[in-house]
Amino acid sequence: MKKYKNEKEFLEDYDDTKYDKLSMTSDILLVSVSNKDNTNYRKTSKKMISILLVKRDEFPFKDKWCLPGGFLNPKKETLDECAKRILKKETNLSEIYLEQLYTFDDIERDPRTRVVSTAYVALVDKNKLTDKLNENALWFDIAEISYQDNIVNFTLNNKQETIKFSIKKNLIEKTTNQYSYSIIKNESIAFDHPKVILAGIERIRNKINYTDIVFNMMSEYFTLGELQDVYEVILGEKLLAPAFRRIIANKVEKTDKMLTGKGHRPSVLYKYKSKSI
Amino acid sequence: MKKYKNEKEFLEDYDDTKYDKLSMTSDILLVSVSNKDNTNYRKTSKKMISILLVKRDEFPFKDKWCLPGGFLNPKKETLDECAKRILKKETNLSEIYLEQLYTFDDIERDPRTRVVSTAYVALVDKNKLTDKLNENALWFDIAEISYQDNIVNFTLNNKQETIKFSIKKNLIEKTTNQYSYSIIKNESIAFDHPKVILAGIERIRNKINYTDIVFNMMSEYFTLGELQDVYEVILGEKLLAPAFRRIIANKVEKTDKMLTGKGHRPSVLYKYKSKSI
DNA sequence: CTAATAGTGTCTATTAGACAGTATGTT
DNA sequence: AACATACTGTCTAATAGACACTATTAG
């Protein structure tokens, strides 16, 4: 091997074309909250988690649904910037909560060639999306996430279509409960994106208890009942109101606004109060 | 654009050489626990966190220390497999705790070319390493991690050398306390590896409270005093023994072995008791 | 009035924090 | 004996869980 006197000389002589390279993408699980419409004037409309899917109009996986994503330009952007560029294209918003989730890299995850994908979770209040969505993009409600043993069954809905898929969780590390995922049923979703959806939902579920992550999906003003509903749909369990209110008490502040017209006692609207450090 | 009848036809015609690609590496923060030697026969030897660093013998960053790592072979291995291959080479062990940490991808992080690195945290009980280390590899003790405002100062030690570096944490997301890191002092460590070290230590610090991650660094038999020492050095704070014992009570089981010869009351040796699910 | 949700008071159970005390080895 | 750590008992403080109760609206 050639000996170099210094780093500058080494770099000038460096030829990266002799090494095997690969492509990377950023894929984004964009999550929000919807209201399930309701006919009974008394009942409040229940909350649901929604995710944005895009219908592929090219091969591979033509006509399947996938997460918004795109190839990284290795010369001039980071994965974060790539994710933001894609979000901007899909939602026309720049100020969106974004968090790196996991890097997915099964060798065969893309049939074209080796593509490693760094997945992101993005959270948004859907009501802020005033612009019309890209015509291939649609919000799906997560109608159900059911756990049976180590199998997770998802049901996604939009007005035209229902999507189902199932993932098996295999415990690979006892000390920290690490699981590997294998897709055991999936007809509608492209790539390994079912895994990304599950990993992202579980990330939010974990973080909801020790961070203020939920407020990225809430409107500016909300009732404590709505907030509790969102916690319940994310956690998949009912909470008791007094305990819930104690826990979130110092994350919210009362406003002088009220939500009325609901066939029951009106409720005070609250705002998110970020911790002053 | 050419129209394809089906996916097979599309894939047969697919040419990935027309897209810009990049290189990826797996870098591993291998962490263990050491005993700080002690002269007073009465005192117990205090615990320290140790990490494995490798001295680079080639450009770039020749003669600097870096984390063990290596290029991903895009044709035939996953990032996990790549990390395991490197660990095997460094430690000759296959059964090591391994967890994906974060994907680091600053554009200029490698002066040669664009290299995205997926970092891993690996934990091991150093006593299991019977084979001699690779001659370029050395364990460094983390002598100090001090926080002043949002600046973190590291001091690493081995017998010959002391390494210091400082990282500034910039809050980029209030709701979940996400920080970006910037290296503000560093003379000895290659690439952006100071960031990886900080991120890895903080990951372990977070997980120690809600998982059994710590036992991956412990010997098979340990005293509760040793275990508490490890918690304290990772958390950077003193704990009260009665509370600590209550918390870890159902993670450990008593053995009939005792640790004697220490100038004070002998202590019972315990074993890790993994949760039966 | 009724059904539905909003909101609070309070008791109990559980968990965490603190301290003091006893126990037992080596030199 | 002296020192250092091992280990436990118990009081107190803080937090979480549960339930019952009152409040207030649209229809």
Burial class (CB in 10 A: 0-12, 13-18, 19+), B153: middle
Q: Which residue has the higher pLDDT, B142 or A7?
A: B142
Q: Would you call A82 an interface residue with chain B, using a CB distance cutoff of 8 Å?
A: no
Residue with the two structure tokens 């091991």: B124
- CB proximity B4 to A under 8 Å: yes
Q: Which helix (H) or strand (E) holds A119?
A: strand A115-123
In the beta sheet, which residues pair with residue B222? B270
Residue A13: what pLDDT? 73
Distance CA B22, CA B112 (A): 11
Nucleotides of C under 7 A from a protein CB: 3-10, 16-20, 23-27
Q: Where in chain A do CATH 1.10.10.10 domains reside?
A: 214-272
From residue A180, how far is each of A86, A175, B68 by CA, in Å?
28, 14, 24
Residue A8 confidence (pLDDT) = 80
Residue pairs between chains A and B whose CB atoms are closer than 8 Å? 136
What are the two backbone dihedrals, phi and then psi, of residue A14, each rounded to the nearest 5 degrees? -75, 130
Confidence at residue A181, expressed as pLDDT on a 0 to 100 scale: 98
Residue of A nearest to B16 (CA): A113
Q: Which two tokens stand for residue B95?
A: 């059964």
Q: Which two tokens stand for residue A40?
A: 């009974």
Cα–Cα dist A35/A99, whole Å:
25
Strand, coil or helix: A221: coil
| Partner residue facing B175 (CB), from A97, A102, A118 | A97
The per-residue pLDDT of chain B, averaged, comes to: 93
Nearest Cβ partner of A60 from B10, B73, B118? B10
CB contact under 8 A, B73 and A175: no
Strand C atom within 7 Å of B236 CB: no
Q: Is A178 on the interface with B (CB under 8 A)?
A: yes
| The two three-digit tokens of residue B206, written as one number | 């977070």
Q: Which residue in the set A102, A106, A216 is minimally distant from B100, CB to CB? A: A102
Please, which residues have CB within 8 angstroms of residue B237's CB and are 6 or more apart in sequence?
none
Helices and strands counted in chain B (H then E): 5, 13
CA of A95: which chain B residue's CA is closest? B173
B271 touches chain A (CB under 8 A): no
Q: Quick one: which H or E segment has residue A84?
A: helix A79-91
Q: What are the tokens at B148?
A: 């002043």
Helix (H, G, I), strand (E, B), or coil: what is residue A113? Answer: coil
Chain B residues touching residue A116 (CB < 8 angstroms):
24, 79
3-state secondary structure of A213: helix
pLDDT score for A276: 60
Mark residue B236 as left, alpha or beta (left: phi above 0; alpha: psi -120 to 50; beta: remaining).
Answer: left
The whole-angstrom distance between B97's CA and the closest CA on chain A is 8
Q: Bridge partners of A101?
A: none
CATH 3.90.79.10 maps onto chain B at 23-207
- B214-272 domain in CATH 1.10.10.10? yes
Contact present, A204 and A175 (Cβ < 8 Å): no
Q: How far apart are CA B118 and CA B100, in angstroms?
A: 7
Angstrom distance (rounded) from CA B118 to CA A102: 10
Model confidence at B134: pLDDT above 90 = no
Which amino acid is it at B185? K
CA angle A167, A199, B70 (to 5 degrees): 105
Which pLDDT band, with edges at 50, 70 and 90, does B8 fall under? confident
Q: How far is CA B61 from CA A4, A58, A127, B106, B274, in A?
A: 12, 44, 50, 17, 42
* Contact between chains at A175 and B216 (C-beta distance less than 8 A): yes
Average pLDDT over residues B10-34: 87
Q: Average pLDDT for residues B81-93, to the nearest whole number? A: 94
| Probe site for chain A from B2, B24, B59, B125 (most A CB atoms < 10 A) | B59
Q: What is the helix (H) or strand (E) element at residue A170, kind and residue range?
A: strand A162-173
> Which position has the token pair 């593509």?
A115
Residue among B114, B125, B170, B273 with most chain A CBs within 10 A, to mutate: B114
Q: Residue B276 above 70 pLDDT? A: no
Residue nearest to nucleotide C18 (CA to C1'): B240
Distance between CA B125 and CA A273 in Å, rounded? Answer: 44
Q: Which of A23, A77, A173 sits opposite B19 (nearest CB)?
A: A23
Give CA A156 to chain center in angstroms.
14
pLDDT for A131:
76
CB of B88 closer than 8 Å to CB of B94: yes
Cβ B237 to strand C below 7 Å: no
Q: Do A73 and B211 touch (CB under 8 A)?
A: no
CATH topology of domain B23-207: Nucleoside Triphosphate Pyrophosphohydrolase (3.90.79)
Task: Answer whether any strand D atom is within 7 A of the Cβ of B261.
Answer: no
Q: What is the mean predicted confidence (pLDDT) over B11-17?
A: 74
A209 to chain B: which residues are within 8 Å by CB?
none
User: What's the pLDDT score for residue A36?
Assistant: 86
Residue among B102, B104, B143, B121 at smallest CA distance from B29: B121
CA angle in degrees (0–180, nearest 5) for A97-A102-A104: 130
**Residue B276: C-alpha distances to residues A151, B251, B273 (Å):** 19, 10, 9
Residue A211 phi, psi (nearest 5) = -140, 180
pLDDT at position B12 over 90: no
In this complex, the answer to whether residue B225 has its CB under 7 A from any atom of chain D, a nucleic strand, is yes
How far apart CA B38 and CA B46 sit, in angstroms, is 8
Stretch B43-49: mean pLDDT:
93
| Bridging pattern class, strands B23-35 and B115-123 | parallel
Alpha helix positions (H), chain B: 7-12, 79-91, 193-207, 224-235, 241-248
pLDDT digits (tens, 9 = 90+) for B191-242: 999 999 999 999 999 999 999 999 999 999 999 999 999 999 999 999 999 9
Interchain pair A23, B24: CB under 8 A? no
> Is the CB of A22 within 7 Å of strand D?
no
Non-local (6+) Cβ contacts of A41 within 8 A are A263
Q: What token pair was written down for B32?
A: 């263990």
Contact between B104 and B117 under an 8 Å Cβ cutoff? The reply is yes
Query: How close A122 comes to chain B (CA, Å)?
Result: 12
Distance CA B163, CA B140 (A): 9
Instruction: Return the C-alpha torsion angle B112, B113, B114, B116, nearest 10.
Output: -40
Q: End-to-end CA distance of chain A, in Å? A: 55
User: Per-residue pLDDT for chain A (277 aa), expressed as one digit of tens each?
Assistant: 677 888 787 777 777 777 789 999 999 999 999 998 788 889 999 999 999 999 999 889 999 999 999 999 999 999 999 999 999 998 888 999 999 999 999 999 999 999 999 999 999 999 888 777 888 999 999 999 999 999 999 999 999 999 999 999 999 999 999 999 999 999 999 999 999 999 999 999 999 999 999 999 999 999 999 999 999 999 999 999 999 999 999 999 999 999 999 999 999 999 999 876 5
B147 near A CB under 8 A? no
Residue B251 makes CB contacts below 8 A (sequence gap 6+) with B212, B215, B272, B273, B275
